[in-house]
Structure 1
Amino acid sequence: MILPIHYQETYVIRQEVLRKGKPIETCYFTGDTEKSTAHFGFFHEEKLIGVISVFNSPSTLFQEKSQIQIRGMAVLDKFQQNGIGNQLLLHAENYCKQQKVEIIWFNAREKAVQFYKKNAYKILGDAFEIPEVGMHFVMYKQVMEY
């Protein structure tokens, strides 16, 4: 089951999956507290096991006026490879369609690129490094056209 969650609920999953061994403070993302940001959690037997957040964060890399950035998508290791990431991503995409978003974009970790490609996302440009996190690619998908 996927439900809206409070931004602070994302931290335990973000820390375990995306910021392993780093302080909980590194799990706060600029924009987490904005009213335009939405956070969703995947629950299994009433336990939060996956998260995804969508930010109203336009990038100058795209011309579309209505953009959403996905950040902090993470599923606990022991629940990965079970389609939960796909469900979270689809939920975020459906949310974006309801919001009449034209394009979804994000910085994908190198190891997640194939997952996103399978979901019809495309790479824009070359790989780049986010210090203390690793190599990333900008990826995007056209959601709606006007």
Structure 2
Amino acid sequence: MTVRSVPASAVRPLRAEVLRPGRTPESLVYPGDDAPLAFHAGGFIGDEIHGIATVYPEPPPEAHRGDISEEAYGTSATFRLRGMATSDIARSTGLGREVLLACFEHIRASGGRFLWCNARIGALGFYERMGWTAVGEEFDMPGIGGHYVMWIDLG
């Protein structure tokens, strides 16, 4: 298994397959995909990509002021994680952990300290084991299901 930086176009097929079945990769362009400090991690088994994640600068939701460190607001030190996924083949192999660690490394190297995401209910345990904290109430993303806002201080 290896993890390396890949172009945004390389993560979109797995975004579609795992996170948004029925959607085309071309329809899964995130607003921050082309941000100057965006990072797209590709986790490979052999020559095939089986794990992905994207991070880019974005402050956490205003609704969570008081739940997330105030330092995470109004600063370029905060990134958002989106599109974290592993293929069925890679699940429980440690590849997802390695992909996320590569994102942490990129954020720190970019002068960042905080990371947040909208985590699916089924992924809460994974994020908690990696040191993340869930905040607020569960919310529903139509067509996808229950989520929590989660965050981590990488400092």
Q: Fold match, TM over 0.5?
A: yes
Fraction of identical pairs, as percent: 26
- Name the residue aligned to 2:107: 96
- Name the residue aligned to 1:35: 36
d(CA) in 1 for partners of 2:12, 2:113? 28
- Name the residue aligned to 1:115: 126
Do structure 1's residue 11 and structure 2's residue 12 form an aligned pair? yes
Return the offset for 1:24. 2.9
Question: 1:124 aligned to 122, 135, 145, which one?
Answer: 135
The amino acid that maps onto 1:130 is: M
Instruction: Identify if the C-alpha distance between structure 1 residues 32 and 40 changes in structure 2 by more than 3 Å, giving closer, same or farther.
Output: same
The amino acid that maps onto 2:3 is: I
d(CA) in 2 for partners of 1:54, 1:24? 18
d(CA) in 2 for partners of 1:74, 1:100? 25
- Name the residue aligned to 2:50: 49
Contact residue 107 and residue 137 of structure 1 kept, 8 A? yes
d(CA) in 1 for partners of 2:47, 2:26? 25
Contact residue 85 and residue 96 of structure 2 kept, 8 A? yes
TM-score, scaled to structure 2: 0.87
Deviation track 1:68-102 (CA, whole Å, cap 9, x = no partner) reads: 11110111112111011111111111111212212
What SS does structure 1 have at the residue aligned with 2:89? helix
d(CA) in 2 for partners of 1:48, 1:15? 13
Any stretches of 5+ residues in structure 1 without a counterpart?
none
Deviation track 1:35-74 (CA, whole Å, cap 9, x = no partner) reads: 2211110111111111111011112334222101111011
- Name the residue aligned to 1:143: 154
The amino acid that maps onto 2:127 is: Y
d(CA) in 2 for partners of 1:8, 1:51? 11
d(CA) in 1 for partners of 2:80, 2:8? 15
Any stretches of 5+ residues in structure 2 without a counterpart?
none
